[in-house]
Structure 1
Amino acid sequence: MEGPDTEESSRPTESRRAKAGKSSYPPSPEQRKLIMSPMGAHRRSMKALSSPSPFKDSPDGAAQSPSRLESLQCHFTWNLEATKSKMIRVRDELVDIGTDEGNVWLGHIYNLQGFIHYHLGFMEEARDFFSRATETFHQLGDADEAPCLLVNYGNLAWLHHHLGEDTESQAYLSKLDTLMEQSPPPIQDELHPEVCAEKAWTLMKFNKDKKLQAADYFQRAVRMKPDMVPWQTSRLLALVTRFKYENTDQDADVLEEMRMAREEDPDNRYLAAVDLLLRAKRGEQVQDEAHELEEKILMNPVSSYSGIKTLMRVYRELECYDEAVDLAEKALKKNPDVRYLKRCAALCYKWKIILFKESRPAQSMISRAISLHEEVISLYPHSCLLKEVALANVYAKSGQGLERAEQMYQEMMERDLEPADKQILYNCYGTSNHCFLPRRMRFLCLPSSFTSAAVNGFGGTFGLRFSERGNGTGAKSIVIGLLRPVTPQTSRLLALVTRFKYENTDQDADMLEEMRMAREEDPDNRYLAAVDLLLRAKRGEQVQDEAHELEEKILMNPVSSYSGIKTLMRVYRELKCYDEAIDLAEKALKKNPDVRYLKRCAALCYSWKIILLKESRPAKSMISRAISLHEEVISLYPHSSLMKEVDLANMYAKSGQGLERAEQMYQEMMERDLEPADKQILYNRYAKYLFYDRREYQRSIEYHMKAAEIPHPSFFQQNSINMLKKKIDRGRDRMCREIREFLENLPGSESL
């Protein structure tokens, strides 16, 4: 389930605060001003530092500090491992909780914000948030020795240590010692309950796997302070919200605990919304109760702890999408500038447009959804990937926005995303294409380890589309796609025949017969037709007339990579008809001058003509056109253009006057921090450049060795190995002995 993670909105009533012995909380408006004021935070920090420290005059104080720091209970020692994008998402979630008075987690929020900002590299902001946490916790306790300060002082000790401010760090360690002496934990050898509670709350913010651990820490805290209702409520929420996107049945004990928690904490609207959602998932009709809760939530819906998003999910579970949208619009009407409510509203419109199957959404609704999503993306610029995905899907449902949706997905996939974000994107792309795009362009993204499973385990249902460089790009996924609503045989066949993109591997008779049958079964599939022609061209058949016939059909709509145009260009290459490949590219570009994919294809055709044709020197005008195209393509694919940069360097090398520019480009590429697979590609291509263009044969061998020794099986590694073996076979190179020893010592050499 989406929204605040498990701990949310555990806000005790005034009577509960008194019962919990926290009469000084929440702070008054004057106290709130002091807490939020940087000057107030600074005064508190100086007061903390003014306490005497036993380390100040200790000759070995500095030596004691690291081990002492490691023993602290605080964010820096809790193994809060998260990627940068995850940290940013949590940071934004904390902002959406708000800082209104009455939030018992306010000090915890500031502590976690400080830790996140430290890890994001914002040291002064980290210092400020930790100081705000100090101020907030001072309002909770009547003295500097309040146990709720333990985690905060530990964070400050670590922060000052990392900043090289050892005196300040030792001062906080001293204060921690004093605090522990004056306020020992209620149970010997146990953490303070306040520490347990804050650790539990913090763990829940990072991933669902830690929610059970968080529930355990809350249980330990409650055991020592049974009157703390927020801790009891949060423990239960940690248990019941572990499975956000699943309809996992809750056992009877948990449901009974939920009933008791609602009686114990009747004003907690987030808890009430979670209860309704659980019951709705069990099939109960809770619509009337949802309407009653809606009125209460709308009194103050601005915080992510208000329960509004969970109530929207109740309406979704009941398939009352209009009521979810109506709730969002009501909240926005009262609070038009609250970004969290705009995010919730965008979510509701997405549900209505994508999940509601009975009728096509009105254009006005689609326009409102697009507008909201665009605004939300601008309000969450560093944590908006899922909203960008949602926007692409809304465009896809608009009826006229498929091209825009595809463009958005391609732009997202070209970014340098973290693995977890790539996984999200590939999953959403596969799902969205399966639901929305034409059936000949459905995709499902799987890890590369699923290659054989795609062919065998899926029973031929899906066709494989390998990344453009095979295994040589370091790509972490293989896209598996249904090209059309075809038979399983066709998809299985495409998976098999496209495995060896760069090789002239003969296809056996059975496979060729399968191809013939597939074309009869699916006569309008132009991509399949192009693959068939390419296979036959590789076998030496003269398929030029059929290629011309297919060209006319493809040029009717060549803009997609699934049109078959690139494969048809490869047919012309196989036939050594480079001019016809270029002519096809230019025809497609003339009809569609702004389509970057066609520009990429055109650049490829020109590189074939210039680099592969040996009969004559290419004209200056052709080289100029090739260079211009490659430069434009590199700008259009800024994060996935290595091969095009290599090709551009080779264009310069072939120009007759550009060897110096080519060498400069290669050196610049080799200075980058590339992944091993990309380095392998670069070394292989540079070795060939050295051999053919610069006639530097020894350096060429050295770079083939560099490519071969990178432990990444690929076409490029094998190609470099083959080049080295040829040197040995010819026996004329003075490095033959060195090459032989190199190959013998190469890992896996026994299978070469």
Structure 2
Amino acid sequence: MHWKISSTSSQISEQPIHQSNHSAPAPWFIAAMSKNTEEDQLKDRLEQLRCHFTWKLQIQDAEMTDLENRVFDEIEFLDTECSVVMHNLLAYVKHLEGQNKEALQSLKQAEDLIQTEQDDQAHVRRLVTWGNYAWLYYYMGRLEEAQMYLDKVESTCKEFTSPSCYKVDSPHMDCEEGWALLKCGGKNYERAKACFEKALEVDPEHPEFNAGYAIAAYRLDGSKKPSQTLHTLKQALRLNPEDAYIKAFLAMMLPNTGRKAEGEKYVKEVLGSTSSHTCVFRYVAKFYRRKDSLEKALQFLKMTLRATPSSAFLHHQVGLCYKTQMIQIKKANHWRPRGRNKENVHRLVRMAIWEFEKALKLQPTFHQLYIELAEMYAELGHHRVAEDTFEKLLSMGVNDDYLQQQIHFSYGRFQEFHMKSELNAISHYLNVIKIETSSFTSKKSFTALKKLVLKSCQRNGENTLKLRILGLVYKFQGEMEKAMECSLWAQSLATEKELCGR
């Protein structure tokens, strides 16, 4: 039995054709098998390339719109070298969206920009662009053109005296891969950092390698390893003294280590630099928001939004400014605002919700936003919507320990203060503690749990479970005597209950 091959595809369809065992294969069968072999060989060669199609970039469908918006923004505002990187990435995104003609246009723009460059990095960018061309033509079924670009890559690899016909092992190529990964979101940051680290092993003083590594470290480790990240950013700034991005990241980190004046100095340098552009001002705005200079922060955010209206990041930051203004009003009124103040609180909450909803439409996988949104709905008394928002976030399967802690802590606060459910609140606070990662959130959860259990014991009397939970809290906080006291007290209660039961 043989199989019929469709004339419009190289795929074999399951339609049996009966032939004599002694007949020679039909010419169309030989031609089809030959074509299959050629395609397989072509794909084997394509898979040896180093480009966006082989870097295994993790991009979820829900993130595509926000990524595309960010790419367009950076193409508009950044310099030629960065534009080449972004045009290549845009081509890959367009391909994923099924827009191959638009993808070819982006590669053409990248190729045109590379013509003005002549350094080693330009040669590498050319190889990446040609690799993307080859893959794109392959997917479009234009195999001769795919082979043409493979030949271009092979010719350049010979110039580099590469042992491979279709790829070059170069720190510049590692750097190029690192930038692509860095632009595609948090799931790619670990690999991005590793790429820049590999490039630095070859050239520890290269400015671009250090800049990429510092930005990856900031996004990955900024809150977890502040001193180490600060050192990395300072090293990058030494080699890139005019880099506004690095100055902005330093400005945001320094106040957390008690160096507010130094942070302010870098912000002034960013604002006074002619090389600064709209993309950097979003971080200046974030600096002022954290400083509680909210009007100044909103001024920069709204200015930046006019230039880049489809930024989830910016809408999130605007929403956070409104949230902070709301908290300031409540705090000034001893958390019980009335009259006009209460109206202003509700107005600011609704404004924050609008911004958070807008950001989520642009980037549905922006997990932190769900926490902010749930908290704002709770402020308005929309408890069912808030609870649904928390549950939706938990169902998304967040893997990051720090974010998991934030989710459960915030959900615990919601259960304690809005739903008045001590049991559910305790459950979520315990979920934070079960994640054995030391953080500011875990410390807050210990404090909240201890306070809640003590209050419950005073109001409703002690029970074995509460005392054991309290003992656990004391144990984690290193107060071993109090932990032992709670344990003995719990045992005593359990024994008493057992005797009473008899």
TM-score interval (norm. to shorter): 0.5 to 0.7
CA contact 2:326–2:344 (8 Å) conserved in 1: no
Asked if 1:338 corresponds to 2:308, the answer is yes
Q: How far apart in 2 are the matches of 1:445 and 1:182? A: 66
Instruction: Return the match for 2:139 from 162, 187, 191.
Output: 162
Q: Which position in structure 1 is the counterpart of 2:354?
A: 374
Instruction: Return the match for 2:456 from 475, 486, 495.
Output: 486
Q: Which position in structure 2 is the counterpart of 1:391?
A: 373
Q: How far apart in 2 are the matches of 1:352 and 1:413? A: 27
Q: Which position in structure 2 is the counterpart of 1:109?
A: 86
How far residue 177 of structure 1 moved from its aligned partner, in angstroms, is 1.4
Q: How far apart in 1 are the matches of 2:158 and 2:275? A: 45
3-state SS of 2:53 partner? helix
Q: How far apart in 2 are the matches of 1:71 and 1:377? A: 43
Structure 2 unmatched runs, 5+: 1-33, 436-441, 447-451, 469-492
Relative to 1, partners in 2 of residues 1:85 and 1:342: Cα closer, same or farther, differing over 3 Å?
closer
Instruction: Return the match for 2:71 from 94, 107, 112.
Output: 94
- What's the CA shift string for 1:656-694, capped at 9, x where partnerless? xxxxxxxxxxxxxxxxxxxxxxxxxxxxxxxxxxxxxxx
Relative to 1, partners in 2 of residues 1:345 and 1:149: Cα closer, same or farther, differing over 3 Å?
same
Q: How far apart in 2 are the matches of 1:491 and 1:97? A: 59
Asked if 1:214 corresponds to 2:181, the answer is no
Q: How far apart in 2 are the matches of 1:187 and 1:167? A: 22
How far residue 90 of structure 1 moved from its aligned partner, in angstroms, is 3.9
How far residue 191 of structure 1 moved from its aligned partner, in angstroms, is 1.9
3-state SS of 2:211 partner? helix
3-state SS of 1:80 partner? coil
Relative to 1, partners in 2 of residues 1:63 and 1:411: Cα closer, same or farther, differing over 3 Å?
closer
Q: Which position in structure 2 is the counterpart of 1:149?
A: 126
3-state SS of 2:221 partner? coil
One-letter code aligned to 2:282: I
CA contact 2:285–2:301 (8 Å) conserved in 1: no
Q: Which position in structure 2 is the counterpart of 1:296?
A: 272
Q: Which position in structure 2 is the counterpart of 1:270?
A: 245
Q: Which position in structure 2 is the counterpart of 1:745?
A: none
Relative to 1, partners in 2 of residues 1:366 and 1:336: Cα closer, same or farther, differing over 3 Å?
farther
One-letter code aligned to 2:299: E
CA contact 1:161–1:169 (8 Å) conserved in 2: yes
How far residue 111 of structure 1 moved from its aligned partner, in angstroms, is 1.9
Structure 1 unmatched runs, 5+: 1-56, 463-481, 496-509, 518-752
Relative to 1, partners in 2 of residues 1:200 and 1:491: Cα closer, same or farther, differing over 3 Å?
farther
Q: Which position in structure 1 is the counterpart of 2:413?
A: 435
More helix per residue: 2
Q: How far apart in 1 are the matches of 2:318 and 2:464? A: 40
How far residue 278 of structure 1 moved from its aligned partner, in angstroms, is 3.4
Q: Which position in structure 2 is the counterpart of 1:349?
A: 322
CA contact 1:240–1:250 (8 Å) conserved in 2: no
CA contact 1:349–1:369 (8 Å) conserved in 2: yes
One-letter code aligned to 2:358: S
Q: Which position in structure 2 is the counterpart of 1:68?
A: 45
CA contact 1:197–1:218 (8 Å) conserved in 2: yes
Structure-to-structure mapping, 1:586-735, within 5 angstroms: none
Relative to 1, partners in 2 of residues 1:118 and 1:377: Cα closer, same or farther, differing over 3 Å?
farther
Relative to 1, partners in 2 of residues 1:415 and 1:127: Cα closer, same or farther, differing over 3 Å?
farther
Q: How far apart in 1 are the matches of 2:148 and 2:427? A: 53
- What's the CA shift string for 1:71-120, capped at 9, x where partnerless? 11112222323543455554444345352252532221222233334345
How far residue 150 of structure 1 moved from its aligned partner, in angstroms, is 0.8
- Give TM-score scaled by structure 1 length: 0.44
Q: How far apart in 1 are the matches of 2:401 and 2:62? A: 13
Structure-to-structure mapping, 1:233-632, within 5 angstroms: 233-246=211-224, 248-250=226-228, 255=231, 258-259=233-234, 261-286=236-261, 288-289=264-265, 292-293=268-269, 295-296=271-272, 302-303=278-279, 306=280, 308-309=282-283, 311-315=284-288, 320-321=291-292, 323-333=293-303, 336=306, 338-339=308-309, 340=311, 341-353=314-326, 358-359=331-332, 360=335, 363-364=343-344, 367-368=347-348, 370-371=350-351, 373-375=353-355, 377-378=357-358, 381-384=361-364, 385=366, 386-397=368-379, 401-402=380-381, 404-410=382-388, 413=391, 418-420=396-398, 429-436=407-414, 437-438=417-418, 440-441=420-421, 443=424, 486-487=456-457, 492=465
Relative to 1, partners in 2 of residues 1:146 and 1:250: Cα closer, same or farther, differing over 3 Å?
closer
Q: How far apart in 1 are the matches of 2:78 and 2:463? A: 63
- Give TM-score scaled by structure 2 length: 0.63
Relative to 1, partners in 2 of residues 1:130 and 1:374: Cα closer, same or farther, differing over 3 Å?
farther
Q: How far apart in 1 are the matches of 2:113 and 2:455? A: 61
Relative to 1, partners in 2 of residues 1:127 and 1:93: Cα closer, same or farther, differing over 3 Å?
same
Look at both structures and tell me which one has the larger radius of gyration over its CA atoms: 1
Relative to 1, partners in 2 of residues 1:392 and 1:196: Cα closer, same or farther, differing over 3 Å?
same
Percent identity between the two aligned chains:
17
How far residue 410 of structure 1 moved from its aligned partner, in angstroms, is 0.9
3-state SS of 1:371 partner? helix
3-state SS of 1:78 partner? coil
Q: Which position in structure 1 is the counterpart of 2:478?
A: none
Q: How far apart in 2 are the matches of 1:236 and 1:314? A: 18
Q: How far apart in 1 are the matches of 2:49 and 2:391? A: 42
Q: How far apart in 1 are the matches of 2:371 and 2:54? A: 35
CA contact 1:204–1:211 (8 Å) conserved in 2: yes
Q: Which position in structure 2 is the counterpart of 1:18?
A: none
Q: Which position in structure 1 is the counterpart of 2:9?
A: none
Q: How far apart in 2 are the matches of 1:483 and 1:98? A: 54
Q: How far apart in 1 are the matches of 2:303 and 2:455? A: 46
Q: How far apart in 1 are the matches of 2:89 and 2:104? A: 12
- What's the CA shift string for 1:573-631, capped at 9, x where partnerless? xxxxxxxxxxxxxxxxxxxxxxxxxxxxxxxxxxxxxxxxxxxxxxxxxxxxxxxxxxx
CA contact 1:270–1:307 (8 Å) conserved in 2: no
Instruction: Return the match for 1:174 from 136, 148, 151.
Output: 151
Relative to 1, partners in 2 of residues 1:69 and 1:307: Cα closer, same or farther, differing over 3 Å?
same
Relative to 1, partners in 2 of residues 1:377 and 1:138: Cα closer, same or farther, differing over 3 Å?
farther
How far residue 265 of structure 1 moved from its aligned partner, in angstroms, is 2.7
One-letter code aligned to 1:80: L
Give RMSD over aligned pairs. 5.0
CA contact 2:315–2:358 (8 Å) conserved in 1: no
3-state SS of 1:140 partner? coil
How far residue 428 of structure 1 moved from its aligned partner, in angstroms, is 5.3
Instruction: Return the match for 2:113 from 124, 131, 136.
Output: 136
Relative to 1, partners in 2 of residues 1:338 and 1:382: Cα closer, same or farther, differing over 3 Å?
closer
Q: How far apart in 1 are the matches of 2:90 and 2:462? A: 55
One-letter code aligned to 1:239: A
Relative to 1, partners in 2 of residues 1:221 and 1:141: Cα closer, same or farther, differing over 3 Å?
farther
- What's the CA shift string for 1:289-347, capped at 9, x where partnerless? 256246337996521xx1532x4454466xx21x1442232442576463234443223
Q: How far apart in 1 are the matches of 2:80 and 2:322? A: 30
Relative to 1, partners in 2 of residues 1:161 and 1:258: Cα closer, same or farther, differing over 3 Å?
same
CA contact 1:114–1:129 (8 Å) conserved in 2: yes
CA contact 2:177–2:195 (8 Å) conserved in 1: yes
One-letter code aligned to 1:270: Y
Relative to 1, partners in 2 of residues 1:237 and 1:378: Cα closer, same or farther, differing over 3 Å?
closer
Relative to 1, partners in 2 of residues 1:209 and 1:153: Cα closer, same or farther, differing over 3 Å?
same
How far residue 405 of structure 1 moved from its aligned partner, in angstroms, is 4.9
How far residue 351 of structure 1 moved from its aligned partner, in angstroms, is 4.5
- What's the CA shift string for 1:483-506, capped at 9, x where partnerless? 99634966949x9xxxxxxxxxxx
How far residue 65 of structure 1 moved from its aligned partner, in angstroms, is 0.9
